[in-house]
Structure 1
Protein backbone atom coordinates (compact mmCIF):
# COMPACT_ATOMS: atom_id res chain seq x y z
CA UNK A 1 0.00 0.00 0.00
CA UNK A 2 1.42 3.37 -1.00
CA UNK A 3 1.91 5.96 1.71
CA UNK A 4 2.45 9.66 1.19
CA UNK A 5 4.40 12.15 3.27
CA UNK A 6 4.92 15.94 3.02
CA UNK A 7 8.67 15.63 3.67
CA UNK A 8 11.67 13.33 3.75
CA UNK A 9 11.85 11.86 7.24
CA UNK A 10 14.93 10.23 8.78
CA UNK A 11 13.90 6.70 7.72
CA UNK A 12 13.44 7.94 4.13
CA UNK A 13 16.79 9.69 4.22
CA UNK A 14 18.55 6.57 5.51
CA UNK A 15 16.95 4.48 2.76
CA UNK A 16 17.98 7.01 0.07
CA UNK A 17 21.56 7.11 1.36
CA UNK A 18 21.79 3.28 1.33
CA UNK A 19 21.02 3.07 -2.39
CA UNK A 20 23.76 3.02 -5.04
CA UNK A 21 21.47 4.14 -7.83
CA UNK A 22 18.49 6.42 -8.34
CA UNK A 23 16.29 7.36 -11.26
CA UNK A 24 15.21 10.78 -12.45
CA UNK A 25 12.00 11.49 -14.31
CA UNK A 26 11.25 14.67 -16.24
CA UNK A 27 9.22 15.90 -19.18
CA UNK A 28 8.62 19.08 -21.11
CA UNK A 29 5.08 20.21 -21.93
CA UNK A 30 5.35 18.22 -25.18
CA UNK A 31 7.58 15.47 -26.46
CA UNK A 32 9.09 12.49 -24.78
CA UNK A 33 9.15 11.70 -21.07
CA UNK A 34 12.67 10.94 -19.83
CA UNK A 35 13.72 8.47 -17.15
CA UNK A 36 17.44 8.20 -16.39
CA UNK A 37 19.43 6.00 -14.01
CA UNK A 38 22.08 7.85 -11.97
CA UNK A 39 24.91 6.78 -9.68
CA UNK A 40 28.51 7.75 -8.91
CA UNK A 41 27.82 9.26 -5.48
CA UNK A 42 26.00 12.16 -7.11
CA UNK A 43 23.07 12.88 -4.75
CA UNK A 44 22.71 14.57 -1.36
CA UNK A 45 19.66 15.03 0.87
CA UNK A 46 20.05 18.52 2.34
CA UNK A 47 16.88 18.67 4.39
CA UNK A 48 13.33 17.39 4.74
CA UNK A 49 12.28 19.03 1.47
CA UNK A 50 15.54 19.48 -0.44
CA UNK A 51 17.71 17.18 -2.53
CA UNK A 52 20.58 18.16 -4.80
CA UNK A 53 22.21 15.96 -7.40
CA UNK A 54 25.13 16.51 -9.73
CA UNK A 55 24.57 15.60 -13.36
CA UNK A 56 27.65 14.11 -14.98
CA UNK A 57 28.24 14.20 -18.75
CA UNK A 58 26.31 11.56 -20.65
CA UNK A 59 25.21 10.72 -24.15
CA UNK A 60 22.15 12.96 -23.79
CA UNK A 61 20.97 15.84 -21.63
CA UNK A 62 17.20 15.41 -21.56
CA UNK A 63 16.61 16.47 -17.95
CA UNK A 64 18.30 19.84 -18.50
CA UNK A 65 16.22 20.51 -21.59
CA UNK A 66 13.01 19.60 -19.80
CA UNK A 67 13.92 21.87 -16.89
CA UNK A 68 14.06 24.89 -19.21
CA UNK A 69 10.41 24.31 -20.13
CA UNK A 70 8.94 22.63 -17.07
CA UNK A 71 10.61 22.42 -13.69
CA UNK A 72 8.79 19.29 -12.45
CA UNK A 73 11.04 16.40 -11.44
CA UNK A 74 10.57 13.00 -9.85
CA UNK A 75 13.38 11.04 -8.19
CA UNK A 76 12.99 7.32 -7.44
CA UNK A 77 14.92 4.69 -5.52
CA UNK A 78 14.32 0.92 -5.45
CA UNK A 79 15.71 -1.52 -2.97
CA UNK A 80 17.34 -4.44 -4.74
CA UNK A 81 18.33 -6.06 -1.45
CA UNK A 82 16.36 -7.52 1.45
CA UNK A 83 13.89 -4.70 2.10
CA UNK A 84 11.18 -4.46 -0.59
CA UNK A 85 10.62 -0.71 -0.96
CA UNK A 86 10.24 1.92 -3.67
CA UNK A 87 10.54 5.57 -2.66
CA UNK A 88 9.69 8.54 -4.87
CA UNK A 89 10.25 12.24 -4.24
CA UNK A 90 8.12 14.60 -6.31
CA UNK A 91 8.86 18.27 -6.69
CA UNK A 92 10.34 21.04 -8.74
CA UNK A 93 13.97 21.70 -9.55
CA UNK A 94 16.24 24.54 -10.47
CA UNK A 95 19.37 24.07 -12.57
CA UNK A 96 22.81 25.41 -11.69
CA UNK A 97 25.85 25.46 -13.95
CA UNK A 98 29.46 26.16 -12.99
CA UNK A 99 29.72 29.91 -12.43
CA UNK A 100 26.05 30.31 -11.43
CA UNK A 101 25.26 31.65 -7.96
CA UNK A 102 25.08 28.68 -5.60
CA UNK A 103 27.34 26.37 -7.63
CA UNK A 104 30.40 27.05 -5.47
CA UNK A 105 28.54 26.13 -2.29
CA UNK A 106 26.95 22.94 -3.68
CA UNK A 107 29.70 21.45 -5.89
CA UNK A 108 32.02 20.65 -2.93
CA UNK A 109 29.32 18.34 -1.53
CA UNK A 110 30.21 15.84 -4.28
CA UNK A 111 33.40 14.16 -5.45
CA UNK A 112 35.09 16.39 -8.04
CA UNK A 113 34.02 15.60 -11.61
CA UNK A 114 35.56 17.53 -14.49
CA UNK A 115 32.59 16.48 -16.58
CA UNK A 116 29.87 17.81 -14.26
CA UNK A 117 27.27 19.57 -16.43
CA UNK A 118 24.72 20.74 -13.88
CA UNK A 119 23.54 20.50 -10.34
CA UNK A 120 19.80 20.09 -9.95
CA UNK A 121 18.38 21.55 -6.74
CA UNK A 122 15.09 19.78 -6.05
CA UNK A 123 12.39 21.20 -3.81
CA UNK A 124 10.43 18.16 -2.65
CA UNK A 125 6.71 18.61 -2.02
CA UNK A 126 5.64 14.96 -1.78
CA UNK A 127 7.33 11.71 -0.76
CA UNK A 128 5.66 8.42 -1.59
CA UNK A 129 6.65 4.94 -0.53
CA UNK A 130 5.27 1.76 -2.02
CA UNK A 131 6.06 -1.93 -1.93
CA UNK A 132 8.89 -3.26 -4.01
CA UNK A 133 7.62 -6.82 -4.05
CA UNK A 134 8.15 -7.20 -7.81
CA UNK A 135 11.63 -5.60 -7.84
CA UNK A 136 14.26 -8.31 -8.31
CA UNK A 137 17.14 -8.98 -5.98
CA UNK A 138 20.43 -7.71 -7.35
CA UNK A 139 23.84 -7.57 -5.76
CA UNK A 140 25.93 -4.40 -5.88
CA UNK A 141 29.55 -5.16 -6.67
CA UNK A 142 31.11 -1.79 -7.51
CA UNK A 143 30.85 1.46 -9.42
CA UNK A 144 31.79 1.34 -13.09
CA UNK A 145 35.05 3.10 -13.92
CA UNK A 146 34.08 3.65 -17.57
CA UNK A 147 33.02 7.28 -17.12
CA UNK A 148 36.17 8.19 -15.20
CA UNK A 149 38.36 6.54 -17.83
CA UNK A 150 36.53 8.48 -20.56
CA UNK A 151 37.06 11.77 -18.68
CA UNK A 152 40.70 11.00 -17.92
CA UNK A 153 41.37 10.50 -21.64
CA UNK A 154 39.86 13.92 -22.50
CA UNK A 155 41.00 17.49 -22.04
CA UNK A 156 38.55 20.07 -20.73
CA UNK A 157 38.25 21.34 -24.33
CA UNK A 158 37.42 17.80 -25.52
CA UNK A 159 34.65 17.54 -22.92
CA UNK A 160 33.19 20.90 -23.98
CA UNK A 161 33.38 19.82 -27.63
CA UNK A 162 31.42 16.69 -26.70
CA UNK A 163 28.80 18.90 -25.02
CA UNK A 164 28.50 20.92 -28.22
CA UNK A 165 28.08 17.75 -30.28
CA UNK A 166 25.86 15.67 -27.99
CA UNK A 167 24.39 17.78 -25.15
CA UNK A 168 23.06 21.03 -26.67
CA UNK A 169 19.60 19.73 -27.59
CA UNK A 170 17.21 17.06 -26.39
CA UNK A 171 16.10 14.20 -28.62
CA UNK A 172 13.06 16.37 -29.37
CA UNK A 173 15.34 19.20 -30.58
CA UNK A 174 14.85 21.49 -27.56
CA UNK A 175 17.79 23.43 -26.09
CA UNK A 176 19.38 22.15 -22.88
CA UNK A 177 21.10 25.33 -21.72
CA UNK A 178 24.42 23.61 -21.09
CA UNK A 179 27.15 26.26 -21.38
CA UNK A 180 30.13 25.54 -23.63
Structure 2
Protein backbone atom coordinates (compact mmCIF):
# COMPACT_ATOMS: atom_id res chain seq x y z
CA UNK A 1 0.00 0.00 0.00
CA UNK A 2 1.41 3.38 -1.01
CA UNK A 3 -0.12 6.84 -0.59
CA UNK A 4 0.58 10.05 -2.45
CA UNK A 5 0.32 13.13 -0.26
CA UNK A 6 -0.17 16.33 -2.22
CA UNK A 7 0.23 19.51 -0.15
CA UNK A 8 -1.62 21.98 -2.37
CA UNK A 9 0.00 24.84 -4.28
CA UNK A 10 3.76 25.57 -3.99
CA UNK A 11 6.56 26.14 -6.50
CA UNK A 12 5.67 25.96 -10.19
CA UNK A 13 2.11 24.88 -9.36
CA UNK A 14 0.54 27.14 -11.99
CA UNK A 15 3.53 28.78 -13.65
CA UNK A 16 7.06 27.36 -13.90
CA UNK A 17 9.46 29.06 -11.50
CA UNK A 18 6.75 31.03 -9.68
CA UNK A 19 5.66 30.19 -6.13
CA UNK A 20 1.87 29.77 -5.87
CA UNK A 21 0.86 30.58 -2.29
CA UNK A 22 -2.77 29.58 -2.85
CA UNK A 23 -5.23 31.47 -0.67
CA UNK A 24 -3.72 34.11 1.61
CA UNK A 25 -5.00 36.04 4.59
CA UNK A 26 -3.47 38.89 6.57
CA UNK A 27 -4.45 39.23 10.23
CA UNK A 28 -2.80 41.66 12.66
CA UNK A 29 0.17 42.07 10.34
CA UNK A 30 0.73 38.33 9.89
CA UNK A 31 0.49 36.77 6.42
CA UNK A 32 -0.98 33.27 6.31
CA UNK A 33 -0.47 31.23 3.12
CA UNK A 34 -2.46 28.16 2.14
CA UNK A 35 0.65 26.54 0.62
CA UNK A 36 2.56 26.80 3.92
CA UNK A 37 -0.24 25.41 6.07
CA UNK A 38 -0.98 22.61 3.58
CA UNK A 39 2.72 21.67 3.57
CA UNK A 40 2.80 21.48 7.40
CA UNK A 41 -0.18 19.13 7.29
CA UNK A 42 1.34 17.12 4.45
CA UNK A 43 4.63 16.57 6.26
CA UNK A 44 2.80 15.61 9.47
CA UNK A 45 0.62 13.19 7.48
CA UNK A 46 3.73 11.66 5.92
CA UNK A 47 5.09 11.03 9.43
CA UNK A 48 1.75 9.51 10.54
CA UNK A 49 1.73 7.08 7.61
CA UNK A 50 5.41 6.14 7.97
CA UNK A 51 4.99 5.54 11.71
CA UNK A 52 2.48 2.85 10.69
CA UNK A 53 4.84 1.31 8.15
CA UNK A 54 3.02 2.77 5.13
CA UNK A 55 4.98 3.90 2.09
CA UNK A 56 4.49 7.54 1.07
CA UNK A 57 5.23 9.66 -2.00
CA UNK A 58 5.11 13.45 -1.61
CA UNK A 59 4.39 15.73 -4.57
CA UNK A 60 6.44 18.34 -2.72
CA UNK A 61 8.49 18.32 0.49
CA UNK A 62 9.27 22.03 0.70
CA UNK A 63 8.75 25.44 -0.93
CA UNK A 64 11.30 24.78 -3.68
CA UNK A 65 10.00 21.48 -5.13
CA UNK A 66 8.64 22.07 -8.62
CA UNK A 67 5.22 20.41 -8.75
CA UNK A 68 2.98 21.64 -11.58
CA UNK A 69 -0.65 20.94 -10.68
CA UNK A 70 -1.23 19.30 -14.07
CA UNK A 71 1.56 16.76 -13.40
CA UNK A 72 0.76 15.76 -9.83
CA UNK A 73 -1.63 12.91 -10.68
CA UNK A 74 0.89 11.52 -13.17
CA UNK A 75 3.66 11.83 -10.56
CA UNK A 76 1.57 9.75 -8.15
CA UNK A 77 0.90 7.14 -10.84
CA UNK A 78 4.59 6.95 -11.78
CA UNK A 79 5.46 6.48 -8.10
CA UNK A 80 3.09 3.48 -7.94
CA UNK A 81 0.64 4.99 -5.46
CA UNK A 82 -2.68 3.35 -4.65
CA UNK A 83 -4.34 6.55 -3.45
CA UNK A 84 -3.81 10.31 -3.60
CA UNK A 85 -4.72 12.72 -0.80
CA UNK A 86 -4.52 16.40 -1.69
CA UNK A 87 -4.55 18.94 1.16
CA UNK A 88 -5.92 22.47 0.76
CA UNK A 89 -7.60 25.36 2.58
CA UNK A 90 -10.72 27.11 1.38
CA UNK A 91 -11.18 30.84 0.93
CA UNK A 92 -14.15 33.11 0.39
CA UNK A 93 -14.77 36.87 0.32
CA UNK A 94 -16.96 36.64 3.41
CA UNK A 95 -14.77 35.80 6.44
CA UNK A 96 -17.75 34.12 8.09
CA UNK A 97 -17.52 31.19 5.63
CA UNK A 98 -16.26 28.20 7.58
CA UNK A 99 -16.04 24.44 7.81
CA UNK A 100 -14.42 21.57 6.05
CA UNK A 101 -15.28 19.44 3.05
CA UNK A 102 -13.83 16.52 1.16
CA UNK A 103 -13.96 16.45 -2.63
CA UNK A 104 -13.94 13.29 -4.73
CA UNK A 105 -13.97 12.45 -8.45
CA UNK A 106 -16.03 9.29 -8.82
CA UNK A 107 -17.96 6.60 -6.97
CA UNK A 108 -14.69 4.91 -5.89
CA UNK A 109 -13.70 8.06 -4.02
CA UNK A 110 -17.13 8.84 -2.57
CA UNK A 111 -17.01 6.29 0.27
CA UNK A 112 -13.51 7.38 1.33
CA UNK A 113 -14.55 11.05 1.15
CA UNK A 114 -17.53 10.41 3.45
CA UNK A 115 -15.45 8.43 5.95
CA UNK A 116 -12.82 11.19 6.02
CA UNK A 117 -15.47 13.92 6.38
CA UNK A 118 -17.08 12.12 9.32
CA UNK A 119 -13.75 11.52 11.09
CA UNK A 120 -12.45 15.05 10.51
CA UNK A 121 -15.66 16.68 11.76
CA UNK A 122 -15.33 14.61 14.93
CA UNK A 123 -11.74 15.68 15.67
CA UNK A 124 -12.07 19.35 14.63
CA UNK A 125 -15.62 20.27 15.60
CA UNK A 126 -15.78 22.36 12.42
CA UNK A 127 -18.91 23.01 10.37
CA UNK A 128 -19.94 20.29 7.93
CA UNK A 129 -19.75 21.54 4.34
CA UNK A 130 -20.41 17.97 3.16
CA UNK A 131 -18.59 15.93 0.56
CA UNK A 132 -18.75 17.09 -3.05
CA UNK A 133 -18.07 15.48 -6.39
CA UNK A 134 -15.62 17.38 -8.61
CA UNK A 135 -14.55 15.95 -11.94
CA UNK A 136 -12.70 19.07 -13.10
CA UNK A 137 -9.78 19.15 -10.64
CA UNK A 138 -6.38 18.05 -12.00
CA UNK A 139 -5.23 16.17 -8.90
CA UNK A 140 -8.45 14.18 -8.76
CA UNK A 141 -7.73 12.84 -12.25
CA UNK A 142 -5.32 10.36 -10.61
CA UNK A 143 -6.02 6.86 -11.96
CA UNK A 144 -6.42 5.40 -8.47
CA UNK A 145 -8.42 6.50 -5.47
CA UNK A 146 -8.24 10.29 -5.02
CA UNK A 147 -9.64 12.85 -2.58
CA UNK A 148 -9.02 16.53 -1.96
CA UNK A 149 -9.52 17.73 1.60
CA UNK A 150 -10.42 21.38 2.17
CA UNK A 151 -9.27 21.55 5.80
CA UNK A 152 -11.05 24.81 6.63
CA UNK A 153 -11.20 28.47 5.65
CA UNK A 154 -8.00 30.48 5.88
CA UNK A 155 -9.84 33.80 6.41
CA UNK A 156 -12.16 32.49 9.13
CA UNK A 157 -10.61 33.24 12.54
CA UNK A 158 -11.96 30.10 14.23
CA UNK A 159 -11.02 27.73 11.39
CA UNK A 160 -7.56 29.27 11.03
CA UNK A 161 -6.89 29.12 14.78
CA UNK A 162 -7.73 25.41 14.78
CA UNK A 163 -5.64 24.73 11.69
CA UNK A 164 -2.61 26.44 13.22
CA UNK A 165 -2.92 24.48 16.49
CA UNK A 166 -0.32 21.66 16.62
CA UNK A 167 -2.63 19.37 18.61
CA UNK A 168 -5.45 19.81 16.10
CA UNK A 169 -2.99 19.14 13.26
CA UNK A 170 -1.88 15.91 14.95
CA UNK A 171 -5.49 14.79 15.50
CA UNK A 172 -6.36 15.59 11.89
CA UNK A 173 -3.43 13.73 10.34
CA UNK A 174 -3.95 10.72 12.60
CA UNK A 175 -7.63 10.61 11.56
CA UNK A 176 -6.72 10.88 7.87
CA UNK A 177 -4.10 8.13 8.18
CA UNK A 178 -6.37 5.76 10.12
CA UNK A 179 -9.38 6.17 7.82
CA UNK A 180 -7.29 6.01 4.62
CA UNK A 181 -5.35 2.89 5.62
CA UNK A 182 -8.51 1.08 6.73
CA UNK A 183 -10.38 2.05 3.57
CA UNK A 184 -7.63 1.21 1.08
CA UNK A 185 -6.71 -1.96 2.95
CA UNK A 186 -10.30 -3.18 2.82
CA UNK A 187 -10.72 -2.46 -0.89
TM range (shorter): under 0.3
Q: Greater Rg, structure 1 or structure 2?
A: 1
> Which structure has more helix as a fraction of its residues?
2
User: Which TM-score applies when normalising by structure 2?
Assistant: 0.25
